[in-house]
Homo-oligomer: A and B are copies of this chain.
Protein backbone atom coordinates (compact mmCIF):
# COMPACT_ATOMS: atom_id res chain seq x y z
CA UNK A 1 0.00 0.00 0.00
CA UNK A 2 1.51 3.32 -1.13
CA UNK A 3 0.18 6.81 -0.73
CA UNK A 4 2.12 9.63 -2.34
CA UNK A 5 2.27 13.01 -0.62
CA UNK A 6 0.47 14.54 -3.59
CA UNK A 7 -2.36 11.99 -3.56
CA UNK A 8 -5.64 13.78 -4.17
CA UNK A 9 -9.17 12.92 -3.11
CA UNK A 10 -11.97 14.68 -4.97
CA UNK A 11 -15.34 14.93 -3.25
CA UNK A 12 -18.45 15.65 -5.27
CA UNK A 13 -20.08 18.05 -2.84
CA UNK A 14 -18.96 20.73 -0.43
CA UNK A 15 -21.18 20.22 2.61
CA UNK A 16 -20.58 19.04 6.16
CA UNK A 17 -20.14 15.40 5.17
CA UNK A 18 -17.38 16.31 2.72
CA UNK A 19 -15.84 18.52 5.39
CA UNK A 20 -15.77 15.82 8.04
CA UNK A 21 -14.33 13.31 5.55
CA UNK A 22 -11.71 15.89 4.58
CA UNK A 23 -10.43 16.13 8.16
CA UNK A 24 -9.73 12.40 8.05
CA UNK A 25 -8.12 12.53 4.62
CA UNK A 26 -5.83 15.25 5.96
CA UNK A 27 -4.77 12.93 8.75
CA UNK A 28 -3.34 10.63 6.10
CA UNK A 29 -1.62 13.51 4.32
CA UNK A 30 -4.15 13.31 1.47
CA UNK A 31 -5.10 16.49 -0.39
CA UNK A 32 -8.81 17.17 -0.79
CA UNK A 33 -10.70 18.97 -3.53
CA UNK A 34 -14.44 19.63 -3.44
CA UNK A 35 -17.23 20.77 -5.69
CA UNK A 36 -19.04 23.69 -4.12
CA UNK A 37 -21.96 25.86 -5.07
CA UNK A 38 -21.58 29.27 -6.68
CA UNK A 39 -22.46 30.93 -3.34
CA UNK A 40 -18.92 30.47 -2.02
CA UNK A 41 -20.41 29.68 1.39
CA UNK A 42 -20.27 25.88 1.47
CA UNK A 43 -18.59 24.25 4.48
CA UNK A 44 -15.68 23.00 2.34
CA UNK A 45 -14.74 26.51 1.21
CA UNK A 46 -12.88 27.30 4.44
CA UNK A 47 -10.91 24.07 4.78
CA UNK A 48 -9.17 23.50 1.47
CA UNK A 49 -7.42 25.57 -1.19
CA UNK A 50 -8.78 23.17 -3.84
CA UNK A 51 -12.29 24.37 -4.61
CA UNK A 52 -14.21 23.62 -7.79
CA UNK A 53 -17.19 25.96 -7.83
CA UNK A 54 -20.07 25.17 -10.11
CA UNK A 55 -22.31 22.71 -8.33
CA UNK A 56 -22.62 18.95 -8.49
CA UNK A 57 -24.89 19.02 -11.56
CA UNK A 58 -22.35 20.71 -13.78
CA UNK A 59 -20.60 18.17 -16.01
CA UNK A 60 -17.57 20.33 -16.70
CA UNK A 61 -16.99 21.02 -13.02
CA UNK A 62 -17.25 17.31 -12.23
CA UNK A 63 -14.76 16.59 -14.96
CA UNK A 64 -12.33 19.22 -13.68
CA UNK A 65 -12.47 17.68 -10.22
CA UNK A 66 -11.89 14.19 -11.61
CA UNK A 67 -9.00 15.43 -13.74
CA UNK A 68 -7.41 16.95 -10.66
CA UNK A 69 -8.02 13.97 -8.36
CA UNK A 70 -6.52 10.50 -8.04
CA UNK A 71 -9.83 9.15 -6.79
CA UNK A 72 -13.30 10.66 -6.55
CA UNK A 73 -16.04 10.06 -4.00
CA UNK A 74 -19.50 11.42 -3.15
CA UNK A 75 -21.23 13.15 -0.28
CA UNK A 76 -24.78 13.01 -1.61
CA UNK A 77 -26.89 11.07 -4.09
CA UNK A 78 -28.32 13.93 -6.16
CA UNK A 79 -26.26 12.67 -9.05
CA UNK A 80 -26.75 10.64 -12.17
CA UNK A 81 -25.11 7.22 -12.43
CA UNK A 82 -24.65 7.60 -16.15
CA UNK A 83 -22.90 10.94 -15.68
CA UNK A 84 -20.61 9.42 -13.05
CA UNK A 85 -19.74 6.64 -15.47
CA UNK A 86 -18.95 9.09 -18.25
CA UNK A 87 -16.76 11.16 -15.96
CA UNK A 88 -14.91 8.05 -14.89
CA UNK A 89 -14.43 6.89 -18.49
CA UNK A 90 -13.40 10.26 -19.86
CA UNK A 91 -10.91 11.08 -17.10
CA UNK A 92 -9.71 7.62 -16.16
CA UNK A 93 -10.11 8.59 -12.49
CA UNK A 94 -11.86 5.90 -10.46
CA UNK A 95 -15.02 6.89 -8.61
CA UNK A 96 -15.96 5.11 -5.40
CA UNK A 97 -18.67 4.08 -4.74
CA UNK A 98 -18.54 2.95 -8.37
CA UNK A 99 -20.99 4.27 -10.95
CA UNK A 100 -22.18 0.67 -11.30
CA UNK A 101 -23.09 0.51 -7.60
CA UNK A 102 -24.58 3.96 -7.74
CA UNK A 103 -26.88 2.97 -10.60
CA UNK A 104 -28.35 0.20 -8.47
CA UNK A 105 -29.69 2.69 -5.93
CA UNK A 106 -29.83 5.86 -7.92
CA UNK A 107 -33.50 6.49 -7.45
CA UNK A 108 -36.01 5.19 -4.94
CA UNK A 109 -37.72 2.84 -7.41
CA UNK A 110 -34.49 1.27 -8.64
CA UNK A 111 -33.17 1.09 -5.08
CA UNK A 112 -36.24 -0.77 -3.88
CA UNK A 113 -36.10 -3.12 -6.87
CA UNK A 114 -32.44 -3.85 -6.15
CA UNK A 115 -32.91 -4.65 -2.48
CA UNK A 116 -36.19 -6.54 -2.96
CA UNK A 117 -34.56 -8.68 -5.62
CA UNK A 118 -31.70 -9.39 -3.21
CA UNK A 119 -34.20 -10.80 -0.72
CA UNK A 120 -34.02 -7.86 1.67
CA UNK A 121 -37.37 -6.94 3.28
CA UNK A 122 -38.71 -3.59 2.06
CA UNK A 123 -42.10 -1.90 2.41
CA UNK A 124 -44.50 -2.70 -0.46
CA UNK A 125 -44.43 -0.12 -3.25
CA UNK A 126 -45.59 0.51 -6.79
CA UNK A 127 -44.78 3.01 -9.50
CA UNK A 128 -47.49 5.57 -10.21
CA UNK A 129 -47.65 5.45 -14.02
CA UNK A 130 -50.78 7.58 -14.33
CA UNK A 131 -53.12 9.43 -11.97
CA UNK A 132 -55.52 6.44 -11.91
CA UNK A 133 -52.83 4.45 -10.15
CA UNK A 134 -53.18 6.71 -7.13
CA UNK A 135 -56.48 5.07 -6.16
CA UNK A 136 -55.13 1.63 -6.98
CA UNK A 137 -52.30 2.26 -4.53
CA UNK A 138 -54.88 3.26 -1.92
CA UNK A 139 -56.78 0.05 -2.51
CA UNK A 140 -53.60 -1.99 -2.35
CA UNK A 141 -51.83 -0.40 0.63
CA UNK A 142 -54.74 1.21 2.44
CA UNK A 143 -54.90 4.91 3.36
CA UNK A 144 -52.83 6.78 4.26
CA UNK A 145 -49.88 5.76 2.14
CA UNK A 146 -46.71 7.58 1.11
CA UNK A 147 -45.99 9.22 -2.22
CA UNK A 148 -42.31 9.79 -3.01
CA UNK A 149 -40.51 11.31 -5.92
CA UNK A 150 -37.99 8.74 -7.08
CA UNK A 151 -35.16 11.22 -7.17
CA UNK A 152 -33.95 14.19 -5.18
CA UNK A 153 -35.80 13.81 -1.88
CA UNK A 154 -34.13 14.48 1.46
CA UNK A 155 -35.14 15.30 5.02
CA UNK A 156 -38.83 14.92 4.16
CA UNK A 157 -38.68 16.99 0.99
CA UNK A 158 -40.02 14.91 -1.91
CA UNK A 159 -42.32 12.83 0.32
CA UNK A 160 -45.99 13.13 1.18
CA UNK A 161 -48.34 11.10 3.29
CA UNK A 162 -51.75 11.00 1.54
CA UNK A 163 -55.07 10.04 3.16
CA UNK A 164 -57.49 10.34 0.27
CA UNK A 165 -57.68 10.31 -3.52
CA UNK A 166 -57.95 14.07 -3.47
CA UNK A 167 -54.83 14.49 -1.32
CA UNK A 168 -53.04 11.98 -3.48
CA UNK A 169 -53.82 13.89 -6.68
CA UNK A 170 -52.63 17.14 -5.11
CA UNK A 171 -49.40 15.59 -3.81
CA UNK A 172 -48.76 13.80 -7.12
CA UNK A 173 -48.88 17.12 -8.89
CA UNK A 174 -46.82 18.92 -6.24
CA UNK A 175 -44.11 16.23 -6.34
CA UNK A 176 -43.83 16.71 -10.10
CA UNK A 177 -45.74 13.62 -11.23
CA UNK A 178 -47.89 15.56 -13.68
CA UNK A 179 -44.70 17.14 -15.04
CA UNK A 180 -43.22 13.74 -15.80
CA UNK A 181 -41.21 12.99 -12.65
CA UNK A 182 -41.28 9.37 -11.57
CA UNK A 183 -43.39 8.97 -8.44
CA UNK A 184 -43.73 5.84 -6.36
CA UNK A 185 -46.38 4.91 -3.85
CA UNK A 186 -45.31 3.11 -0.76
CA UNK A 187 -47.18 1.33 1.98
CA UNK A 188 -47.09 3.33 5.19
CA UNK A 189 -45.25 1.28 7.75
CA UNK A 190 -46.33 1.65 11.35
CA UNK A 191 -42.90 1.44 12.83
CA UNK A 192 -42.00 1.52 16.49
CA UNK A 193 -38.43 2.64 15.90
CA UNK A 194 -36.17 3.78 13.09
CA UNK A 195 -32.77 2.11 12.98
CA UNK A 196 -29.61 2.74 11.01
CA UNK A 197 -26.46 0.77 10.22
CA UNK A 198 -23.30 1.91 8.44
CA UNK A 199 -20.98 -0.39 6.51
CA UNK A 200 -17.51 0.21 5.10
CA UNK A 201 -16.38 -2.15 2.39
CA UNK A 202 -13.74 -2.70 -0.23
CA UNK A 203 -11.70 -5.61 -1.57
CA UNK A 204 -10.20 -6.22 1.87
CA UNK A 205 -13.57 -6.89 3.47
CA UNK A 206 -16.39 -5.17 5.29
CA UNK A 207 -16.69 -3.46 8.65
CA UNK A 208 -20.16 -2.98 10.15
CA UNK A 209 -20.93 -0.23 12.66
CA UNK A 210 -23.36 -0.86 15.53
CA UNK A 211 -27.09 -0.66 14.87
CA UNK A 212 -28.30 2.71 16.17
CA UNK A 213 -31.68 4.27 16.79
CA UNK A 214 -32.59 7.48 15.01
CA UNK A 215 -35.28 9.89 16.09
CA UNK A 216 -36.67 12.28 13.48
CA UNK A 217 -38.44 15.56 14.07
CA UNK A 218 -40.26 17.11 11.12
CA UNK A 219 -38.66 14.45 8.92
CA UNK A 220 -35.14 15.55 9.92
CA UNK A 221 -32.83 13.36 11.93
CA UNK A 222 -32.63 14.97 15.34
CA UNK A 223 -31.22 12.39 17.73
CA UNK A 224 -29.13 9.25 17.35
CA UNK A 225 -28.79 6.76 20.18
CA UNK A 226 -26.03 4.15 20.01
CA UNK A 227 -26.54 1.30 20.28
CA UNK A 228 -30.29 1.06 19.53
CA UNK A 229 -32.42 0.33 22.60
CA UNK A 230 -33.71 -2.99 21.25
CA UNK A 231 -32.73 -6.60 21.88
CA UNK A 232 -29.28 -7.51 20.66
CA UNK A 233 -30.66 -10.14 18.29
CA UNK A 234 -32.62 -7.45 16.44
CA UNK A 235 -29.58 -5.18 16.24
CA UNK A 236 -27.60 -8.06 14.80
CA UNK A 237 -30.35 -8.73 12.29
CA UNK A 238 -30.25 -5.11 11.09
CA UNK A 239 -26.47 -5.34 10.75
CA UNK A 240 -26.87 -8.53 8.75
CA UNK A 241 -29.35 -6.85 6.40
CA UNK A 242 -26.98 -3.91 5.97
CA UNK A 243 -24.20 -6.29 5.01
CA UNK A 244 -26.45 -8.09 2.54
CA UNK A 245 -27.54 -4.77 1.03
CA UNK A 246 -23.91 -3.66 0.66
CA UNK A 247 -23.09 -6.94 -1.07
CA UNK A 248 -26.16 -6.58 -3.30
CA UNK A 249 -24.72 -3.43 -4.83
CA UNK A 250 -21.11 -4.65 -4.64
CA UNK A 251 -20.43 -1.51 -2.64
CA UNK A 252 -16.95 -0.04 -2.34
CA UNK A 253 -16.81 2.81 0.11
CA UNK A 254 -19.09 3.81 2.96
CA UNK A 255 -22.82 3.05 3.03
CA UNK A 256 -25.67 3.89 5.36
CA UNK A 257 -28.92 1.97 5.65
CA UNK A 258 -32.07 3.14 7.40
CA UNK A 259 -34.58 0.61 8.65
CA UNK A 260 -38.07 0.52 10.11
CA UNK A 261 -38.64 -1.76 13.07
CA UNK A 262 -42.30 -2.79 13.26
CA UNK A 263 -44.30 -3.76 16.32
CA UNK A 264 -43.99 -7.41 15.40
CA UNK A 265 -40.19 -7.15 15.15
CA UNK A 266 -39.94 -7.03 11.40
CA UNK A 267 -37.04 -5.01 10.07
CA UNK A 268 -37.65 -3.33 6.72
CA UNK A 269 -34.97 -1.52 4.74
CA UNK A 270 -36.24 2.01 4.14
CA UNK A 271 -33.43 3.96 2.50
CA UNK A 272 -29.77 3.68 1.63
CA UNK A 273 -27.04 6.26 1.08
CA UNK A 274 -23.68 5.64 -0.62
CA UNK A 275 -21.79 8.01 1.71
CA UNK A 276 -21.26 9.08 5.32
CA UNK A 277 -24.56 9.66 7.07
CA UNK A 278 -26.01 11.74 9.87
CA UNK A 279 -26.72 8.54 11.80
CA UNK A 280 -22.95 7.97 11.96
CA UNK A 281 -21.75 11.29 13.34
CA UNK A 282 -21.59 9.76 16.81
CA UNK A 283 -18.77 7.50 15.52
CA UNK A 284 -16.28 10.41 15.62
CA UNK A 285 -15.97 10.10 19.38
CA UNK A 286 -18.09 7.01 19.95
CA UNK A 287 -16.09 4.47 17.94
CA UNK A 288 -12.43 3.55 17.62
CA UNK A 289 -12.52 4.63 13.96
CA UNK A 290 -15.13 7.08 12.66
CA UNK A 291 -17.36 6.65 9.62
CA UNK A 292 -15.40 9.49 8.00
CA UNK A 293 -12.07 7.77 8.48
CA UNK A 294 -13.42 4.51 7.07
CA UNK A 295 -14.93 6.49 4.20
CA UNK A 296 -11.48 7.78 3.34
CA UNK A 297 -9.85 4.41 3.96
CA UNK A 298 -12.19 2.41 1.77
CA UNK A 299 -12.16 4.76 -1.22
CA UNK A 300 -8.38 5.22 -1.16
CA UNK A 301 -7.62 1.51 -0.99
CA UNK A 302 -6.89 0.99 2.70
CA UNK A 303 -8.80 -1.80 4.46
CA UNK A 304 -11.78 -0.65 6.51
CA UNK A 305 -10.66 -0.56 10.14
CA UNK A 306 -12.62 -2.29 12.90
CA UNK A 307 -14.69 0.31 14.71
CA UNK A 308 -15.99 -0.94 18.04
CA UNK A 309 -17.62 1.57 20.35
CA UNK A 310 -15.24 3.16 22.88
CA UNK A 311 -17.87 3.46 25.60
CA UNK A 312 -21.10 1.52 26.18
CA UNK A 313 -23.28 4.43 25.06
CA UNK A 314 -23.26 7.44 22.75
CA UNK A 315 -25.89 10.06 21.99
CA UNK A 316 -25.77 12.56 19.13
CA UNK A 317 -28.13 15.50 18.75
CA UNK A 318 -28.18 17.66 15.66
CA UNK A 319 -27.87 21.40 16.11
CA UNK A 320 -30.60 22.64 13.80
CA UNK A 321 -30.73 26.32 13.02
CA UNK A 322 -32.83 28.25 15.53
CA UNK A 323 -32.46 31.67 13.98
CA UNK A 324 -32.19 33.07 10.49
CA UNK A 325 -29.18 35.17 9.55
CA UNK A 326 -25.45 35.12 10.11
CA UNK A 327 -24.45 31.96 11.97
CA UNK A 328 -23.20 32.56 15.51
CA UNK A 329 -22.62 29.66 17.88
CA UNK A 330 -23.94 30.65 21.28
CA UNK A 331 -23.25 28.38 24.21
CA UNK A 332 -25.66 29.71 26.79
CA UNK A 333 -25.97 28.73 30.43
CA UNK A 334 -23.06 27.54 32.53
CA UNK A 335 -20.10 26.97 30.21
CA UNK A 336 -19.01 24.14 32.53
CA UNK A 337 -22.06 22.14 31.52
CA UNK A 338 -20.50 21.63 28.10
CA UNK A 339 -17.39 19.97 29.44
CA UNK A 340 -18.32 16.49 28.35
CA UNK A 341 -20.06 17.37 25.10
CA UNK A 342 -18.19 17.16 21.82
CA UNK A 343 -19.35 20.18 19.83
CA UNK A 344 -19.17 20.17 16.03
CA UNK A 345 -19.98 23.19 13.89
CA UNK A 346 -19.99 22.88 10.11
CA UNK A 347 -18.81 26.34 9.13
CA UNK A 348 -21.98 27.44 7.33
CA UNK A 349 -21.93 31.21 7.16
CA UNK A 350 -25.69 31.57 7.53
CA UNK A 351 -28.22 29.89 9.72
CA UNK A 352 -31.90 29.34 9.05
CA UNK A 353 -34.55 27.56 11.06
CA UNK A 354 -34.14 23.80 10.85
CA UNK A 355 -30.89 23.88 8.87
CA UNK A 356 -28.26 21.35 9.95
CA UNK A 357 -25.63 23.66 11.46
CA UNK A 358 -23.71 21.25 13.67
CA UNK A 359 -24.12 18.48 16.20
CA UNK A 360 -23.09 17.45 19.69
CA UNK A 361 -22.06 14.00 20.84
CA UNK A 362 -21.89 12.66 24.37
CA UNK A 363 -20.39 9.31 25.27
CA UNK A 364 -20.59 7.41 28.52
CA UNK A 365 -22.10 4.57 30.43
CA UNK A 366 -25.80 5.34 30.55
CA UNK A 367 -27.94 6.26 27.55
CA UNK A 368 -30.78 7.85 29.49
CA UNK A 369 -28.36 10.11 31.36
CA UNK A 370 -26.61 11.09 28.14
CA UNK A 371 -29.94 11.78 26.45
CA UNK A 372 -31.00 14.03 29.27
CA UNK A 373 -27.72 15.96 29.29
CA UNK A 374 -27.66 16.23 25.49
CA UNK A 375 -31.25 17.47 25.34
CA UNK A 376 -30.48 20.09 27.98
CA UNK A 377 -27.39 21.32 26.12
CA UNK A 378 -29.19 21.38 22.79
CA UNK A 379 -31.71 23.75 24.35
CA UNK A 380 -28.92 25.99 25.65
CA UNK A 381 -27.19 26.24 22.30
CA UNK A 382 -28.32 28.84 19.78
CA UNK A 383 -26.89 28.52 16.30
Interface residues, chain A, with chain B CB atoms under 8 Å away: 1-6, 19, 23, 26-29, 31-32, 45-49, 51, 204, 288, 302-303, 305-306, 310, 326-331, 335-336, 338-340, 343-351, 358
Chain B residues with CB below 8 A from A303, complex form: 335-336, 338-339
CB contact between A346 and one of B29, B288, B344, B347 (< 8 Å): that residue = B29
Task: Closest B residue to A28 by CB, please name it.
Answer: B345
**Copy number in this complex?**
2
B residues less than 8 Å from A335 (CB atoms): 1, 204, 302-303
* Contact call A4/B45, Cβ cutoff below 8 A: no
User: A323 to B347, alpha carbons, bound, how many Å?
Assistant: 38
Chain B residues near A328 (CB-CB < 8 A)? 2-5
Contact of A46 among B4, B31, B331, B340 (CB under 8 A): B31
Listed A/B pairs (24) with beta-carbon separation below 8 Å: A2-B328, A3-B328, A3-B329, A3-B330, A3-B331, A3-B345, A4-B328, A5-B347, A5-B349, A23-B26, A26-B47, A27-B343, A28-B343, A28-B344, A29-B327, A29-B345, A29-B347, A29-B358, A47-B48, A49-B49, A204-B336, A288-B340, A302-B331, A303-B335
**Given A26-B347, A27-B345, A1-B331 contact (CB < 8 Å):** yes
| CB closest residue in chain B, given A329 | B3
Q: Which of B3, B46, B350 contacts A48 (CB 8 A)?
A: B46
CB <8 Å contact, B327 and A4: yes
List B contacts of A3 (CB < 8 A): 328-331, 345
Chain B residue with Cβ nearest A341: B305
Chain B residues with Cβ below 8 Å from A302 are 331, 335, 338
Instruction: Give A31's nearest chain B residue, CB to CB.
Output: B46
* Chain B residue contacts of A288, Cβ below 8 A: 340
Q: How far, in Å, is A3 (CB) from chain B's closest CB? A: 4
A315 to chain B, nearest CB (A): 15
Q: Report how far A6 CA is from B339 CA in the complex, Å.
A: 24
Q: In angstroms, how far is the closest chain B Cβ from the Cβ of A308?
A: 10
Contact A349 B6 (CB under 8 A): yes
Given known A47-B47, A348-B5, A349-B5, contact A28–B329 (CB-CB < 8 A): yes
Closest B residue to A27 by CB, please name it. B344
> Nearest B residue to A344 by beta-carbon distance?
B27
Given A204-B336, A303-B338, 4 further pairs, Cβ under 8 A: A2-B331, A29-B346, A29-B348, A47-B48
Taking the nearest CB of chain B, how far is it from the CB of A214, in angstroms? 22
User: How distant is the Cα of A140 from the Cα of B51 in the complex, in angstroms?
Assistant: 62
